[in-house]
Amino acid sequence: MADVVVLSTSIVRPDRADSEPVKIHLTPWDLFFLRSEYPQRGLLFPKPDPETDIIPQLKSSLSLALTIFYPFAGRLVKTENENDETASFLVNCDGSGVKFIHASAKTVSVNDILKPVNGIVPEFLNRFFPANGVKSCDGESLITFQVTELKDGVFIAFGYNHMVADGSSFWSFFNTWSEICLTGVNRNKNLSPPLLLRGWFLDGIDHPIRIPISETVPPSSSPVVSSSLLQEKVIRFTRKNISELKSKANGEVSSDDRRISSLQAVTAHMWRFIIRNSDLNPEEVVHCKLLMDMRRRLNPPLDKECFGNVVGFATCTTTAGEMVGNGLGWAALEINKTVGLQTDEGFRVFAESWVKEPKIPDHVGVSNSVIVASSPWFNVYGNDFGWGKPIAVRAGPGNTSDGKLIVYPGIEEGNIEIQTCLSSNVLEKLSTDPEFLEYACVV
């Protein structure tokens, strides 16, 4: 249905660049994403005043935002170390710029995205995203934008290299960009304090890290689950649903354990009902993987604002039988304990053993697992470029795998929305399961 016409493709460079480019060395957690696809997100906006030409405004403010967040305007540099068949990588902040696509899809309206048929995230949405299939190791623009003008709205989508930034750093950049665009900051003014980079915090680990060449090339075979069997729906939890789930979970555990958070209760609810509707044998092992911001968990902690990728994976493991035989409180407590185990020590031990034999996954999914990414605390709806706040957020293709849950704040304060990717039959059963729907609804 949707004809997407590319009107222009250009490179936006930072307003100014240093003559001596900063080089960012990559940690084991960065390199872990070497073969993963760019995460992609997009915001749906109302239609701007037809008199305003938004593209030049977006580009000039982007150029200023890139002057502050200069690592995004750099390039990934690969060096092959000839003597031992390894390669090393770094990000050279050389001001090369970012790719910016302007497109038009005048047959698509805002409601085609907000109220899709059967609640299934429509396939045409994929064509509004600029980095489909791009992997971190491809060495392209470290962030890519596509602004698609719709019949009655605008979709601003982007894909970024996860080795350069995690969600927390990405949204801080995006918030700065929209603010510059809205307020039209003077070019000569000092925009904001200089970006705080991470620095090398891994004592005893030499950098650049050397990785066997065989681990650094894109995977040739496609993943086990063909993406055609996968479908996505957005599941909403209202503020009331969340507080009810939280008190239910805490009510089911002993009084010493009553510190299960809202997000842990919501995640546990999703995980339980996905497993219940997956028809697994009781002995099958199931996982819940949570991407976590490690900044404040390191010792000494990194500043909350520190730019870069500082995520760790917390993996909670059980069996389908245990899961079905236990309640919400039990599952939430399992998650709570796993989160509590993510410490500075564990993080460093992982790094030390990883560098001895670097292994890079083709993609982060494994079978029978849910993967929880993104966060309800990101400032998504505060991004006003000058013609109104966003009306929805969606994730685009990019290692979308069976069990991927992308968590966002809802447009109403206190809500949580989860873009849920599952094989179509499990998704269908989940979204019609009355017990699941007691605390959630499909958008």
Name the one range near ligand NAG by CB under 6 A: 53-61, 160-168, 377-385, 433-441: 433-441
Give the nearest distance from C-beta 126 to ligand NAG in angstroms: 8
Which amino acid is residue 216, in one-letter code? T
Residues 130-159 that bind ligand NAG (CB under 6 A): 132-133
CA 435 vs CA 87, 158, 288, 370, 438: distances in Å: 51, 36, 21, 19, 5
- According to DSSP, residue 197 is labeled B
| Cis peptide, bond prior to residue 390, ω within 30 of zero | no
Contact between 244 and ligand NAG by CB under 6 A: the answer reads: yes
Contact between 239 and ligand NAG by CB under 6 A: the answer reads: no
* Total length of the chain: 443
Catalytic residue among 162, 166, 293, 402: 162
Residues 321-360 that bind ligand NAG (CB under 6 A): 333, 336-337, 339-340
- Pick from 79, 111, 227, 299 the residue near ligand NAG by CB under 6 A: 227
Strands 153-160 and 40-46: antiparallel
Largest CA distance in the chain: 64
Give the nearest distance from C-beta 61 to ligand NAG in angstroms: 29
- Pick from 37, 140, 232, 334 the residue near ligand NAG by CB under 6 A: 37
Q: What is the dihedral of CA 69, 74, 80, 85, to 10 degrees?
A: 40
Tokens matching residue 318? 């059980």
Contact between 433 and ligand NAG by CB under 6 A: the answer reads: no
Contact between 250 and ligand NAG by CB under 6 A: the answer reads: no
Residues 366-425 that bind ligand NAG (CB under 6 A): 397, 399-401
CA 386 to chain CA centroid, Å, is 25
- Pick from 86, 144, 169, 241 the residue near ligand NAG by CB under 6 A: 241
Measured CA to CA, the distance from residue 22 to residue 71 in angstroms comes to 8
- 162 assigned to active site: yes
Give the nearest distance from C-beta 304 to ligand NAG in angstroms: 16
Q: Residue 82's CB: how many other CB atoms inside 10 A?
A: 7
- 384 assigned to active site: yes
Q: Are 399 and 371 in contact (CB under 8 A)?
A: no
Give the nearest distance from C-beta 336 to ligand NAG in angstroms: 4
Quick one: 407 exposed, middle or buried, by C-beta within 10 A (0-12, 13-18, 19+)?
A: buried
Q: How many residues bind ligand NAG (CB under 6 A)?
A: 26
Which residues are part of the catalytic machinery? 162, 384
Q: Which residues bind ligand NAG (CB under 6 A)?
A: 37, 132-133, 222-223, 227, 238, 240-241, 244, 257, 259, 333, 336-337, 339-340, 363, 365, 397, 399-401, 438-439, 441
